[in-house]
Structure formats: structure tokens, C-alpha cells
Amino acid sequence: MSEPSLYLRGLAYTVGDAVPLTDIEEGDPEQVQVFTRLGLRDFRKSPLSLPELCRRSVGETMRTSGADPSGIGAVLLAPTVNSIHAVGLDYPEVARILGDHNLVDAKLYGVTLNKCSNLSAALELGSSLLRANDYPEVLIVVGDKCARDRDRFMDSAESILSDGALSFVLSKTGGDYALRHLATSGDLSHLTRTYGVLAFVDNSVKHLGRLWRAIPPEFPPEKMEKVFSGNYNMLIQRGLMRELGTGRDRFYLDNLARLGHVFSCDVLINLMDYAASAPVPSGATFTCLTVGYFRWGCFVLEKC
């Protein structure tokens, strides 16, 4: 980025309780067996509604970030589904989330269509809003919940879906991580063509590889402390490792079996859990990769 860096702070998340894949309702035993062999074990199922998951995450973000609600110029709400009605996250519930944290003057934006790359899309929109306006911060909220367990098996066979929400403040003034680079790519042919599982995965891996190779040279891949991707099965992870030319030790895989794929949330959940497991030195850099149906994202964070 040629512009001054923006910063993430107040990262917070909430997920459901761990449920073994073998206990999934209406699950295909053969599919469960395949997923288990590919490194998946549990998914996260929450009795809470999606509005409540988001409300709890936002509450923790506002508490830990120390953000002044009057300085939050916009709230970006980014569920993976294309309509908030589809997941029960309707306007009165959104109003409650904003009202509980004195965010009633913030502009509300919805970020959809990008599926599990909604996090990168929300970062793009949030960055643009901060640079176009005089307010210092925006609040980004991503979250999703499956209505039926049988819908948790991704059509692309990448992973098993879990319930959760994540939020953070994107700021001009400072934070825990500096956003040093952000780029996305798209392939609108996905809207008109039918892709088989292998073709979809292959296309996704190639898009992420191009984004990886376009990271500015001041952030060399060999000096990246970790790469965080979604919690996809090990077949996907190994394909990414080959495409990026990195070893397994560079990828954070600890949450693959423990959490499953928390839609747009798990890339930053993985960062948070990694940082909680060992001290992260100032200046350490991380690459985050996001996969959507026709949109892919890559951003670099540096520990402040």
C-alpha cells in the first residue's frame, strides 16, 4: 500500500461448542470418514442466534479496543449469506447491537456476495471509507451460523462449516497489527459456469498463488512468520503449500481439527489463537488468505 497504514485492534471472536463430525445430524457416514481422514474432527455448533454471537463479539471488541463509540464512523456487517434475513439477522437485532454499544450515529454497511472472502471485502470497503472520510475508525463484524447440520458440508468439499462471529476495529491511529498490504482478485466466470470440486479448488489455489506472488518485496515470503488460511481440509492445505512454495511449518493448522471452517472468521481466529499460544515479536509479519466463490483475498499484517 502506498497510503499510510491502517491498524487492527480489539480482535475478538466467539464460536459454538465442539461437536464431533461423527455426531452430525443427517450426516453421510462416508463423507464424514473422508473428512476425518483429511484432518477434520469437530465442528462448532452454537445454541445462540447469529445476532447474539455478533453482539457478544462486538461487546468484547469495544471493551478491549478502548474505542470511543463517537469515533466509529461506520459499522460494516459482513455475513456470508446474501441476505441478512436468511440467517435471522434482521434489522431490529442489528439495531440492538449498535444501540448496546452507543454506535447509533455510525453509518451501517452490508458486505455480502463474496462468501468466505467477505473478510477481505470488508477490509477493502473499510479502508476506502477511512481514507475518504474524516472519522478515525470503523467497526467490522463478520459472522455466520448454519440453520441445519446437513448444510455444514461445503459443496466444494473443502471443510465443515461452524457457527461463530468475529469483530475488530480498523483504525487510522494505531492498533495491535498494521495492515501493510491488501489485494483481492475475482473471476466472474464462476457466476455463469458450473465448476466441479477439483476444478474449483484448482482455480482457487491458482488465484491465491498469484496474490501471494504479488505481495510487495518489502515483505519477503521467507520472512513471513505464519500463513493463515481458512480451516480447509489437508488436501487443500497441501495444494496451497505447493502453489506458494512454502513448507508445512509456515502454515498454522492447529485449528483445522478443533474448529472447522468458521466462514469468514477463521483466518483471524487462527491469528488470535496463534498469538495467544506464543509471544509474537514486534515487526513479525503474517499473510492471511481468504477464499470466496468468485473472490479471493490476500493481506499482510505486521505486529506493532
> Is the pLDDT score of 212 beyond 90?
yes
Same domain, 134 and 64: yes
- Based on the fold, state whether residues 61 and 155 are members of the same structural domain: yes
One domain, residues 232 and 167: no
Rounded Cα–Cα distance for residues 213 and 225 (Å)? 16
Number of domains in the chain: 2
pLDDT(87) > 80: no
Question: Residue 17: what are its φ and ψ, rounded to 5°?
Answer: -80, 150
Mean pLDDT value of segment 53-61 = 96
Least confident of 31-35, 57-61, 126-130, 211-215: 31-35
The rounded distance, in Å, linking the Cα atoms of 304 and 298 is 19
pTM: 0.94
Report yes or no on 1 lying in a domain: no
Taking only the tens place, the pLDDT of each residue in 241-288 is 999 999 999 999 999 999 999 999 999 999 999 999 989 999 999 999
- 296 vs 147 pLDDT, higher one: 296
The CATH number of the domain where 63 resides is what?
Answer: 3.40.47.10
Q: Which domain holds residue 151?
A: 6-171
How many Å apart are CA 158 and CA 263, to the nearest integer?
Answer: 11
**pLDDT at position 83:** 47
229/245 same-domain check: yes
134 CB-contact burial (10 Å; exposed 0-12 / middle 13-18 / buried 19+): exposed
User: Of the residues 171, 193, 213, which one is the last residue of a structural domain?
Assistant: 171
In terms of domains, do 49 and 82 share one?
A: yes
**Based on the domain organization, do 166 and 183 belong to the same domain?**
no
Whether residue 23 lies inside any domain: the answer is yes
Asked if the model's pLDDT at residue 17 lies above 90, the reply is yes
Look at residues 125, 156, 171 and tell me which one is the last residue of a structural domain: 171
Angle subtended at Cα 303 by Cα 302 and Cα 304, rounded to the nearest 5 degrees = 110
Residue 256 and residue 292 in one domain:
yes
Identify whether residues 239 and 297 lie together within a single domain: yes
Which of 171, 200, 224 is the C-terminal boundary of a domain?
171
Please choose, from the candidates 22, 41, 18, the residue with its C-alpha nearest in 3D space to the C-alpha of residue 30.
22
Does one domain contain both 154 and 23? yes
Instruction: Work out whether strand 72-78 and strand 137-144 pair parallel, antiparallel, or are unpaired.
Output: parallel
Task: State the DSSP code for 249.
Answer: G
Does residue 29 lie within any of the structural domains?
Answer: yes
Taking the C-alpha atoms of residue 111 and residue 89, their distance in angstroms, rounded to an integer, is 13
pLDDT of residue 88: 62
Same domain, residue pair 12 and 129: yes
Q: pLDDT at position 59, please?
A: 97
Q: Is residue 127 part of a domain?
A: yes
> Do 126 and 188 reside in the same domain of the chain?
no
